[in-house]
Every structure is written in structure tokens, then in C-alpha cells.
Amino acid sequence: MSGKEYRVENDSMGEIKVPADKHWGAQTQRAIENFNISGITMPPEFLQALGLLKWAIASANFDLGLLAKDKSEAIGNTALKIAEGDHLEEFPVDVFQTGSATSTNMNINEVIANLASTKSLDIHPNDDVNMGQSSNDVIPSTIHIAATVAVRKNLLDALNHLQETLEIESDKSIRHSEDRADSLNGCNACDFWTRAKSLGKSNQSCCRSV
């Protein structure tokens, strides 16, 4: 990289060159170089859930009196943009990385800090964005959030459609059955409909508990 293409970042291990047009920092860059394994990055759904979690934590830290209002709002607003699907190109770390996905947690901390900082407001990736957190808690929580969002957006609608279709088909089968085999088909459809309805209620209950 030439002098116009990178900036120099510093961490406890010294200096490292980071692409000038990117918002991640030294720890993310080290992860990119150390875990150049598969070229597969974290799924967008996971990253968006991680953004949602960072927004919630910034709000909680403000409520607890640990984080100033201006920092909480700056972090929260940036995190929500990531949750909505913005800036996903800022997450290049390979999915095969440190066991607790610390590199991805630091990736989003650095990106949020750099995007949220202004000339009059300095946001620190560790002290502010990652306040009170550990990757051992953040990553499992993100997985739960991502799974819950996926169930609500995709699975529940599909189960409702399946339930409605089976209900219609079971009514048809029972109404028009003329022999024992047809009756059995109608009963089978009823059974599938009952199971689909039960599964839909179970998933809705799980989403509410999460």
C-alpha cells in the first residue's frame, strides 16, 4: 500500500497499516492478517444482530450512569445503522478466528467508535463501545438475537402459511371423502395442521421469552 492508501494505527503490539477508507482499527486489521483462512465472513444477519445488541448495551450503560448521554446516543445511533444493514462492508474478519469471536466483537467496537466519533466527541472502542462486556457474553447473546429475528421474520410466517394451507386441505379431504382411504387422508391432513399450529405457538412463545 502506498502512503495515500493507508493510515497507521497503534495498539499494544505496536503500529499497523489500515486501509485509509475503512473504519476498523488495529485489532481488526491484525485479525484480517492472522486469520486469512477461508474468505468467508460473518453472516449479515449475525452482524445486524450484533449491532442491535451494541445499541441496547449503550442504552443500558447510560441508564446505569456509566456512559455519558452524548456517547450513548452516538454509539446507539451508529449501532442501529449497522442493525439496519448499513456498513456491513466494514466486517471482513474470517468466520474461522479466535474461539470466542473476540476479533468480530472488536471489529464492531472499532467500526462504531470511528463512525460515531467527531472532532468534539472521542469514542473509545474498548472503554465506551465495549463497556462492561466480554466476547464470551456478547457473541452467545448475538446468536440468540439473530436466531429470534430469523424465526420471527421467516419461520413463523412460513408456519402460518403451512397451517392455513393444511387447514384448507383437511377440510376439503374430510368434506369430499367417499371411502376409508380418503378419510384417512383427511385425518392425516388434520394431524399435520394440528402439529403445525402447535409448532407455531411454541416458536411464538420462545420468541416472547427471549
pLDDT digit string (tens) for 151-168? 888 887 887 787 777 777
Percent of the chain whose predicted confidence (pLDDT) is above 70 = 78
Structure-model confidence comparison of residues 57 and 185, the more confident one: 57
Q: 469514542: which residue's cell?
A: 123
Count the alpha carbons within 13 Å of 182 in the hemisphere toward its beta carbon: 10
Question: CB–CB of 204/156 below 8 Å?
Answer: yes
How, if at all, do strands 6-11 and 14-19 pair? Answer: antiparallel
Question: So what's the pLDDT on residue 156?
Answer: 79
Q: Show me where the domains of the chain are located.
A: 6-133, 144-209
Considering only residues 158 and 22, tell me which one the structure prediction assigns the higher pLDDT: 22
Terminal-residue alpha carbon distance, the chain = 46
C-alpha torsion sign, points 44, 50, 54, 56: positive
pLDDT reported for residue 184 = 45
Q: What are phi and psi of 84, to 5 degrees?
A: -85, 0
Q: What value does the mean pLDDT take over residues 75-79?
A: 98
Count of other CB atoms within 10 angstroms of residue 162: 17
CATH code reported for the domain at 6-133: 1.10.275.10
pLDDT at residue 37 greater than cutoff 90: yes
> pLDDT higher for 21 or 1?
21
Report d(CA 39, CA 4) in Å as an integer.
26
Give residue 8's identity as a one-letter amino acid code.
V
pLDDT of residue 176: 56
| Predicted local confidence at residue 205, as pLDDT | 61
